[in-house]
């Protein structure tokens, strides 16, 4: 599994995950249940994005929810690896 982190870009917080050498994902840090702000958490089952309000978790690769009341996946941003940089379309 690749690296996972949150980054600040132009006033937004993006949750980013390096899937492999050529793939990166970028999601909004706003929970799709009631809008709380997500955090990166390391769990025994693997890294996830977790909501502190009602316990929803989101898959770092797909943005899909599990383990809580959220039903919609996270809003995603188009992200790509270009050389040694990551480019995100906001
Ligand atoms: Fe995130 Fe309710 S606001 S689970």
CA–centroid distance, 32 to ligand 1, in Å, is 7
Choose which residue among 41, 52, 54 to substitute to test ligand 1 binding: the one with the highest number of ligand atoms within 8 A of its C-beta. Answer: 54
**pLDDT value at residue 24:** 96
Confidence of residue 45 (pLDDT cuts 50, 70, 90): very high
The radius of gyration of the chain from alpha carbons, rounded to an integer in Å, stands at: 12
Closest ligand 1 atom, residue 51 Cα: 1
Q: What is the phi-psi region of residue 9: left when phi exceeds 0, alpha when psi lies from -120 to 50, beta otherwise? A: beta
Report angle CA 72, 46, 90 to the nearest 5 degrees. 45
The answer, yes or no, to whether any atom of ligand 1 lies below 6 A from the CB of 51, is yes
Q: For residue 46, which of 55, 36, 35, 57 has the smallest C-alpha distance?
A: 57
Residue 70 scores a pLDDT above 90 = yes
pTM over 0.85: yes
């Amino acid at each position: 599994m690749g690296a996972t982190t949150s980054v600040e870009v132009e006033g937004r917080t993006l949750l980013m995950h390096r899937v492999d050498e050529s793939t990166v994902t970028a999601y909004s840090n706003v929970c799709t249940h009631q809008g709380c702000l997500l955090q990166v958490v390391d769990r025994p089952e693997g890294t996830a994005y977790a909501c502190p309000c009602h316990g929803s978790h989101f898959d770092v690769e797909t943005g899909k929810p599990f383990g809580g009341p959220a039903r919609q996946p996270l809003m995603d941003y188009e992200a790509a690896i270009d050389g040694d940089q990551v480019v995100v379309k906001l």
